[in-house]
Amino acid sequence: MIGRMLETQELRKTFGTGKVALDRVSFAVRPGEMFGFVGANGAGKTTTMRIVMGVLQADSGEVRWKGGPLGFAERRRFGYMPEERGLYQKMKVAEQIEYFGRLHGLSAEAAGKATGELVERLGLTERTKDAVESLSLGNQQRVQLAVALVHDPDVLILDEPFSGLDPLAVDALAEALRERARGGVPVIFSSHQLDLVERLCDSVGIISAGRMVASGTVDELRTAEGRKLRVIVAGAEPGWAEGLAGELTVEGDRQVLVTDDEDDQRVLRAAMRAGRVEHFGVERPTLTEIFKEAVA
Amino acid sequence: MNGLLQVAGREVRTQVRSKGFIVGLVIMVLLVGAVSFAPKVMGGPDSYRVGAVASERLPIWGDTEVEWKDYADEGAARKAVLDGDVDAALVGGTRVLTDGAIDDELGLLLQSAHREAQIGSAGVTITPLAMESVGADTRYQKTRSGIAVVLVIILFMLVIGTPMMVAMGVVEEKSSRIVEILLTSLRPWQLLGGKIVGLGLVGLINLVAVVAAGLVGATASGLAVDFPPGMAGIVVGVLVWFVLGYLFFAAFAAALGSLVSRQEEVGNVLTPMTMTMMVTYGVAFYSVSSPTGTVATIASFVPPFSSMVMPVRAAAAETPFWQVAVSGVVMVMAVVGVTLLAARIYERAVLRTGARIRLLDVVKGR
C-alpha cells in the first residue's frame, strides 16, 4: 500500500529562540485516508504542516511521498490551505481560483473548467465576478478551499479548515473532503473540534509540545487507552468495591465504578451482591477523553 | 518561466484595470501634452502685423515675420491699432502709431529696417554681420534643456512610483500570507521576477504613452521643428535607461519590502531606497543646467545615478556614444548584482512573518 502514501519521518524543528517546536514527529497517511491532526495551541500542528508543504525547512527528518523524498515538483500537485487565510482581496473570485489553477500548471482551458465546477459545487456561482473582499468570511473560506482544490490535488493539507464555519458549511466542507478521500487522496487536516475529527477521520494524530504522543485509528487509540468497565449500582453499601481496582465515585444514592479489572464477570457479581445494577458496560472513551489523557 | 509569466500577467491585468492606473495615466498624458504645447501659447509672438499708411513696406531681416496691411488714411490705421488688428502702424514712412509702448523687438526691427532703407537709398550697401560660434552648437540649447527637464520629472515619477508598487505588492502578499500558498507552486524567483517584470511593463506603458503625448504635443505646437538632431536616439535611450533604473530600484525595493509584514511599515523600510532615489533625482536635476560639468559627467557613470543622469546628459548636451555605452554596461552589471542580492534576501525573508527582520540577519542567513 505504499502507492500514494504520505509520511513524515522524525521531523525536528527548533526555532531561533531555542524553542523546540517539533521533536521527532512521525506519522503516515495512507491513500484515501482522512487524518485528523489534533493538539493544543502551539503544540506543533501548523509547523508540521508548513514543513510538509515546504514553506518551512525541518532541521532534520524527512517528508516522503510515494515512498520517495518529496520535492517541489510533487508538492506542486498538493493542495494547501494555510491557517492564516490568504487571498488577493481585490481580485475577483473566479479569476482568483483560475489563477491558482494556472500556477499549479493547468492550461487556461482546464483551469477555467475546474473553476466553473468548483464554484458551482461550493455555491459561489452568484459571486464569481465579485472581489473577494466583498464576500462574507464563510464565503471567503470557500474560495480559499477552491484555491486548494482547483488542480485536483494528489494530497490535501488543510490547517484548521473548519474554524469559523457555520454547521451547514461544516457539513458541506466535510462532504467535499470525504469525496476527495474516496478518490484515493490522503487528506490531512488539523482541528480543535475533536467531535468533528472523531466523526470524520479514519485516523488521528495527537501532538503535544512538539511530540506525537499518540497516533492511529480512533479504535486503536481506544484500545491503547485500555478497556474500562463502567458500573452503576444503586443502594449499595460503601466499601462493596474493595478489592476491585479503579475509581469509585458516589452520586447521590448511586455508586459509579470505573475499573480496568480484566475479570468483568467478577466485577458484575460483586456489583449484583452489593445492590441493584443500573448500568454495566464497556466504557468507550471519546476522542476528547483520549486527547486529555494523552496530553496530560 | 511559465510561472513567472503567469505572475507577470496577473500584475499587468490588475494594474491596467485599476482606476488609479487609468486616472494617473490620463493626468500624466494631459500634463506632458500641455507642457510640450505650452511654448506656443505662452512664448512671445514670432510674427507681427504692421499697418502702413502712405508708406513703403520696410524690408525686415531675420526669422521674424511681419505681415503688412495697408490703410487708406491715418484715422483707419489709428482705429486698427486701438482695436488690436495690427501691432503698430507706419504713417508716411516717418511715424509709428502704437497702443502704449511698442514691443521691444518690433521697435528694434522697424528702427533698423528704417535706417537701412534710408542708407540704402543713399547708395550704401550693408553686408549683414556673419555670426560664427566658436563654442558648442547651442542652436538647440533651449529645446534640449526643456526636453531634459521634462525627462527628469517623468523618469523620477515613474522610477520612484513603479518600484514602490513592487514593494507594496511584496508586502501585500506577505501580510495576507498568500505567499505561503504561492510558494508551494512557484519558486521565489518566479514570484519576484514576475512581479518585477509585470509592473515594469506597466511602467513602460506609462512611459511610452507619456513620451508619445509629448512628441504629439510638440509636433502640434510646431516645437518639434526645434528638436535637436538625434531625437530618436534620445527617445530610445530614455526607454532603455528607464528599464535599467527601474530594474535596479525595483529589486532594491522588493528586498526591503520583504523584510516587513505590514503595509504601514513599507514607507519606513524603503527609506534607504527613497534616499538613494532623491539623491539621484537631485543630481539629475542639477545636470540639466550643467550637463557638461564635472558632477554630471562623473555621476553619469556611477550606478544607480547614471540611470537618470545619463539620459538627461544625452538630452541636454551632445554626448559621445562610447560614454553612453560604457555607462550602460556598468549599469547593467549593477542591476545584475542588485537583483541577485535582492533575490537572496527576498527568498529568506518573505516567509518570515511577524516583526520587521533585520537586513543584516537575512544577508548573513540567520
Residues A190 and A47 in one domain: yes
The CATH number that applies at residue A249 is 3.30.70
- The mean pLDDT value of chain B amounts to 84
Spatial separation of the C-alpha atoms in residues A256 and A232, rounded to whole Å: 5
B138 falls in which pLDDT band (50, 70, 90)? low
At residue B257, the pLDDT reads: 92
Q: Tell me whether residue A25 is in a domain.
A: yes
Q: Please, what's the b/e burial string for B68-85 (b: 16 or more CB within 10 A of its CB; e: otherwise)?
A: beebeebeebbebbeeee
Could you tell me if residue A130 is inside a domain? Answer: yes
Tell me, yes or no, whether A70 and A130 share the same domain: yes
| Residues A89-118, mean pLDDT to the nearest whole number | 93
Chain B residues in contact with A72 (beta carbon < 8 A): 187
**Total domains, chain A:** 2
pLDDT exceeding 70 applies to what percent of chain B?
93
Domain co-membership, A31 together with A112: yes
Residue A76, pLDDT > 50, answer yes
| Residue pointed to by grid coordinates 556598468 | B330
Which of A196, A222, A248 is at the close of a domain?
Answer: A222
What is the pLDDT at residue A88?
Answer: 92
B 55-114 residues with CB below 8 A of A? none
Hey, are the CB atoms on A80 and B176 less than 8 Å from each other? no
Average pLDDT, chain A: 88
Run of H or E including A38? strand A34-39
Q: Note the pTM of the prediction, 2 decimals.
A: 0.78
CB pairs under 8 A between A and B: 57
Tell me the C-alpha distance between A6 and A239, whole Å: 53
Per-residue pLDDT, A219: 81
pLDDT score, position B42: 54
A177, A204, A222: which is the final residue of a domain?
A222
Contact B177 A54 (CB under 8 A): no
Give the domain-ending residue among A183, A199, A222.
A222
Closest C-alpha among A277, A273, A270 to residue A255? A277
Based on the domain organization, do A236 and A198 belong to the same domain?
no
Statement: residue B210 has pLDDT above 60? yes
Q: Is residue A34 located within the same domain as residue A106?
A: yes
Task: Report whether pLDDT(B245) > 50.
Answer: yes
Higher pLDDT, A262 or B14: B14
A83/A217 same-domain check: yes
A38 contact B CB<8A:
no
pLDDT band at B39 (very low <50, low <70, confident <90, very high): low
Query: Does B104 have pLDDT greater than 70?
Result: yes
**Of A83, A290, A292, A82, the residue nearest A198 (C-alpha):** A290
Q: From the candidates A102, A144, A159, A160, which should be mutated to test the interface with B, based on the most B CB atoms within 10 A?
A: A102
The residue with greater pLDDT, B353 or B44, is B353
Question: Please, which pLDDT band fits residue B63 given cuts at 50, 70 and 90?
Answer: low
Flag whether residue A27 sits within 8 Å of chain B, measured between CB atoms: no
Q: Give the pLDDT mean for B239-259.
A: 92
Are A239 and A173 in the same domain? no
Report pLDDT for B302: 92
Cis check: omega of the bond before B228, within 30 degrees of 0: no
- Could you tell me the sign of the dihedral formed by the alpha carbons of B296, B299, B301, B306, in that order? negative
B355 in contact with A, Cβ within 8 Å? no
For residue A72, give how far its alpha carbon lies from the nearest alpha carbon of chain B (Å). 8
In this complex, is the C-beta atom of B186 within 8 Å of any C-beta atom belonging to chain A?
yes
Q: CATH number for the domain including A71?
A: 3.40.50.300
Confidence label for B44 from pLDDT (cuts 50, 70 and 90): low
The proportion of chain B whose per-residue pLDDT surpasses 90, expressed as a percent, equals 27
Cα–Cα distance, A112 to B215 (Å, whole number): 43
pLDDT for residue A1: 47
The whole domain housing A153 covers 6-222
Nearest in space to A102 (alpha carbons), one of B39, B189, B9, B50: B9
Task: Report the pLDDT averaged over residues A219-234.
Answer: 81
Alpha-carbon distance A201 to A214, whole Å? 15
Q: What is the mean predicted confidence (pLDDT) over A200-229?
A: 85
Question: Grid cell 542567513 — which residue?
Answer: B365
A45 assigned to some structural domain: yes
Distance CA A66, CA B167 (A): 39
CA distance A203 to chain B (A): 26
User: Is A71 part of the contact surface with chain B (CB cutoff 8 Å)?
Assistant: no
Whether residue A233 sits in one domain with residue A102: no
pLDDT tens-place string over residues B169-187: 999 998 888 998 999 889 9
Query: What DSSP string runs through B14-52?
Result: HHHHSHHHHHHHHHHHHHHHHHHHHHHHHSPPSEEEEEE
Q: B158 pLDDT band (50/70/90 cuts)?
A: confident
pLDDT of residue A45: 92
pLDDT of residue B136: 60
Task: State yes or no: pLDDT of A3 exceeds 60.
Answer: yes
Say if A1 falls within a structural domain: no
Facing B185 at nearest CB: one of A76, A84, A87? A76
Minimal C-alpha gap between A75 and chain B (Å) = 7
More confident residue, B357 or A39: A39
Count of Cβ atoms closer than 10 Å to residue A234 Cβ: 14
Same-domain pairing of A188 and A249: no
For the segment B18-22, the average pLDDT, to the nearest whole number, is 87
pLDDT in tens, A28-67: 999 999 999 998 888 899 999 999 998 888 899 999 998 8
